[in-house]
Amino acid sequence: MGQNLVQQRCYRLIADQHLGAAETVELTEYVSTVLYRYIDWITAAVFEVYEDERRRWIGTQGTVLSSTVHNLLAAPEAGAATFERETGYRLDRVHRAIILWLTERASLELADLDRVARRVFAGIGSAGPALIAPVDASTLWAWVPLADRARGTDAVAALRTASLPEGVRMAFGDAAPGTAGFCRSHEQSRAAFTVAHLPDSPTGQVTGFGDRGIALAAMLERDIEHTRPWVREVLGDLAEDSPSAASLRETPAVFLATGDSHVRTAERLSLHRNSVKYRIDKALATVGPDHDRLDVGLALTACEFLGPMVLIAR
Which class is domain 94-214? alpha beta
Which residues, at least 6 apart from 198, have a Cβ–Cβ distance to it below 8 Å?
217, 221, 305, 306, 307, 309
For the stretch 248-271, pLDDT in tens is 888 888 888 888 888 898 888 888
For the stretch 175-213, pLDDT in tens is 999 999 999 999 999 999 999 999 889 999 999 999 999
Q: Mean pLDDT over residues 122-147, rounded?
A: 88
How far apart are alpha carbons 289 and 179 in whole angstroms? 47
Q: Mean pLDDT over residues 267-278, rounded?
A: 86
- Per-residue pLDDT at 60: 44
Residue 139's pLDDT band, with cuts at 50, 70 and 90, is very high
pLDDT: is 151 or 75 the higher one?
Answer: 75
Which is it for the CA torsion 132, 182, 222, 259, positive or negative?
negative
How far apart are alpha carbons 255 and 265 in whole angstroms? 5
Q: State what percent of residues in the chain have pLDDT above 70.
A: 93
For the stretch 66-101, pLDDT in tens is 888 888 998 888 888 889 998 899 999 999 999 999
Kindly list the distances between the CA atom of residue 202 and the CA atoms of 198, 224, 253, in Å, as whole numbers in the listed order: 9, 18, 14
The verdict on pTM exceeding 0.85 is no
